[in-house]
Amino acid sequence: MARAVGLPASPPVPPGEPAAPAAPVRVVAVRGGRRSERADRLAVEEPMEIQAAGPGQDPAGEAVTMRTPGDDFELAAGFMFTEGLVRSRGEVRSVRYCDVPEEEQHRNVVTVRLFRPFDPGVLRRNFPATSSCGVCGKASLDQVELACEAPAPGPVLRRGVVEELPERMRSGQRIFDRTGGLHAAGLFDPEGRLLALREDVGRHNAVDKLVGRALLSGELPLSRRVLMVSGRLSFEIVQKAAMAGLPVVCAVSAPSTLAVDAARRLGMTVVGFLRGDRFNVYSGPERIDLDA
């Protein structure tokens, strides 16, 4: 039977919980015109439905995300928080897989139960804009400003600390080492120490897993932390970081225009194209000490 998770402790992973994050495959490898058959590993991608319910309510499906199995409870809790469906750890009663016999349990439906009544329509009202829905950028920025508090001043980072973030995050990407096919999100302190790292086929899922971890362990807001993400920096990542109170977001690749606009309006620092001793500061340069 699925296990209920009480707070404040972060939920444990039930025995045999997820499918492995990487799966073996056989491939035909071509090297210099020569072919051979060999073993390889692929990052697993599977759907997960996130449901929510208040006291006496039947669970209502809020989202289906394609994710890499593992840290599913953190992902569900983080999604609920960054999308404005819950505002604090105190609202969350339990996080668990759906109640079905063990032989039928696929662990692809996670239910977040709340201590208060849940409004299934709040997600559509809070964040109607996505990258594909056609709603204008200004509408999405206005929604985020209403939902987020301005971040705390946060830390001032030494230039050398910023430059070391990608390599320190890369050293913790265990599943990427095996598959080469996952995004990562790392949480750092102002001295550049890696505090937590999550990997997923979706960079937004990796961020939600980190935020969910912080929510369930009572660490929000993350006002003295730095977020580092692999790949590009989208508006969605900035929105999720803002909801978690993160003042600084760094990325290996480029930010989008809407991501930078959101960061500037919210008073966040965005660093992009962070590779070696080269990077661009797109907003909030006062948090980066270039002379240190």
Residue 132 is assigned to a structural domain of this protein: no
Assigned domain for 1 exists: no
Handedness of CA 2, 112, 77, 69 (dihedral sign): positive
Q: Are residues 100 and 186 both part of a single domain?
A: no
* Helix/strand/coil for 45: coil
In terms of domains, do 111 and 178 share one? Answer: no
Asked which of 100, 125, 150 is the last residue of a domain, the reply is: 125
The CATH number assigned to the domain holding 275 equals 3.40.140.10
In three state form, how does the secondary structure of 69-122 look? CCCHHHHHHHHHHHCCCCCCHHHEEEEEECCCCHHHCCCCEEEEEECCCCCCCH
Same domain, 257 and 154: yes
Q: Are residues 153 and 278 in the same domain?
A: yes
Q: Are residues 202 and 176 in the same domain?
A: yes
For residues 117 and 168, state if they share a domain. Answer: no
82: in domain:
yes
> What pLDDT is recorded for position 22?
80
Q: What is the DSSP letter of 4?
A: P
Domain containing residue 42: CATH number: 3.10.20.10
**Cβ pair 257, 48 in contact under 8 A:** no
106 lies in the same domain as 147:
no
List 133, 136, 148, 250, catalytic entry? 133
Contact 76, 107 (CB under 8 A): no
Whether 163 and 231 share a structural domain: yes
Task: Give yes or no: residues 150 and 208 share one domain.
Answer: yes
* Per-residue model confidence (pLDDT) at position 1: 34
Task: Give the residue numbers spanning the domain of 243.
Answer: 137-289
Domain C-terminal end among 125, 150, 171: 125
- Is residue 5 situated within a structural domain? no
Asked if 110 and 197 sit in the same domain, the reply is no
131 located within any domain:
no
Residue 6: inside a domain, yes or no?
no
Q: What is the pLDDT of residue 101?
A: 64
pLDDT of residue 2: 37
98 is catalytic: no
Cα distances (angstroms) measured from residue 210 to each of 115, 214, 236: 23, 6, 15
In a domain, 83, yes or no: yes
Tokens describing residue 128? 């109607």
Number of domains forming the structure of the chain: 2
pLDDT of residue 105: 64
| Residue ranges of the chain whose pLDDT lies below 50 | 1-18, 125, 127-135
Cα distance from N-terminal residue to C-terminal residue, the chain:
54
| 154 domain residue, yes or no | yes
pLDDT tens readout for residues 180-217: 668 899 999 999 999 999 999 888 999 999 999 999 99
- Predicted pLDDT at 134: 39
Q: In the prediction, which pLDDT does 129 show?
A: 38
How many other CB atoms are found less than 10 A from the CB of residue 59? 20
pLDDT of residue 140: 62
Residue 284's CB is within 10 A of a number of other CB atoms, namely 20
Say whether both 224 and 100 belong to one domain: no
Same domain? For 93 and 158 the reply is no
Domain boundary among 58, 91, 125: 125
